[in-house]
């Protein structure tokens, strides 16, 4: 496992981050979730990403229990705040000072730790003054409850405004967590150039496009039993955008590229996002330990320009590049 610096900071994260969105506390039983975390540790992964909203706090609880007994300084624990939590009252979402201060304490309690390495704004809150949000994050830093601050799915303009306020308050934004894959490249046009300018790295989620880029979904065929596309708890909704036959046919055309490199399609997909110099880490999820072992083999893989061109030719117009698709909800969710 290789490690990369996170933004313009001294913090290093593993090239592969283990994340538990849509798995821990919902799709995967606790024993299996713990086995996946242990497999991640055995594979050299040191960075673990979660959020308070995942399974309404249960994902943090499962991750905290799975990491219990590990040397705290040897792992990086990342969590987030924004989406509705708890009983979903009027102040149980967003980036108000009240919600941030209460949420960090709840996350630390569930994770069984005194601090998180990275605390992230899970989206941009259009209803709370940015000054209030940044001041609250500054106070979280000063209290020692988080070491670094990041964001998720912020636009280039939002990153610039946030970084300017953060620097005025004596800290810096070090990361952004966007969706990024061979099929979804909306950050390349504006977010990545702004991030490079501001000293912000990407920690990307869905590098295998919810499993579509594994090649297991075939055009004209029913999804495999037990796959994410059959999950009624949320997985099927997330993956739906890519389940048309045209897209699936294009994805199958990537298989020879992976085969020529001696990689699985999932490994190629994860390695592909890591070719972007602004990407510090790619988040993988798993429901079985062997999935972790498979995806981790993408770490350290370097792809020649010819390989990248073959991928582009295979996927063609199915690649989404519109920067306007990077945006936060128009109102705070309730």
User: Which entry of 5, 18, 54, 148 is annotated as an active-site residue?
Assistant: 54
Residues in contact with 81: Cβ distance below 8 Å, sequence separation at least 6, in sequence order: 51, 52, 95, 99, 100, 103, 104, 107, 119, 120, 121, 122
Residues in contact with 311: Cβ distance below 8 Å, sequence separation at least 6, in sequence order: 182, 254, 257, 268, 272
The reply to whether 5 belongs to the active site is no
Active site residues: 54
């Amino acid at each position: 496992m290789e490690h990369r610096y996170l933004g313009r900071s001294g913090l290093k994260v593993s090239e592969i981050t283990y994340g538990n969105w849509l798995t821990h506390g919902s799709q995967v039983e606790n024993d299996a979730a713990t086995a996946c975390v242990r497999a991640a540790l055995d594979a050299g992964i040191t960075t673990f990403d979660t959020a308070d909203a995942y399974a309404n706090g249960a994902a943090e609880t499962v991750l905290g229990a799975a990491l219990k007994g590990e040397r705290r300084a040897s792992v990086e624990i990342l969590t987030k705040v924004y989406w509705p939590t708890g009983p979903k009252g009027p102040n149980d979402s967003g980036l108000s000072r009240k919600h941030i201060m209460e949420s960090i304490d709840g996350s630390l309690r569930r994770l069984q730790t005194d601090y998180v390495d990275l605390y992230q704004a899970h989206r941009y809150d259009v209803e709370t003054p940015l000054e209030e949000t940044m001041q609250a994050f500054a106070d979280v830093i000063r209290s020692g409850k988080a070491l670094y601050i990041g964001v998720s799915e912020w636009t280039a303009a939002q990153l610039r405004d946030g970084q300017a306020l953060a620097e005025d308050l004596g800290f810096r934004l070090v990361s952004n967590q966007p969706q990024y894959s061979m099929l979804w490249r909306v950050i390349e046009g504006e977010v990545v150039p702004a991030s490079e300018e501001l000293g912000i790295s990407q920690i990307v989620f869905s590098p295998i496009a919810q499993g579509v880029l594994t090649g297991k979904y075939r055009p004209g065929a029913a999804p495999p039993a037990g796959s994410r596309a059959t999950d009624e708890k949320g997985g099927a909704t997330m993956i739906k955008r890519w389940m048309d036959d045209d897209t699936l046919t294009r994805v199958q055309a990537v298989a020879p590229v992976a085969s020529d490199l001696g990689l699985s399609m999932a490994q190629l997909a994860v390695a592909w996002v890591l070719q972007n110099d602004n990407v510090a880490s790619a988040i993988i999820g798993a429901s079985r330990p062997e999935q972790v072992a498979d995806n981790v083999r993408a770490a350290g893989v370097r792809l020649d320009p010819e390989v990248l061109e073959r991928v582009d030719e295979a996927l063609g117009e199915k690649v989404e590049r519109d920067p306007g698709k990077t945006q936060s909800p128009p109102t705070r969710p309730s």
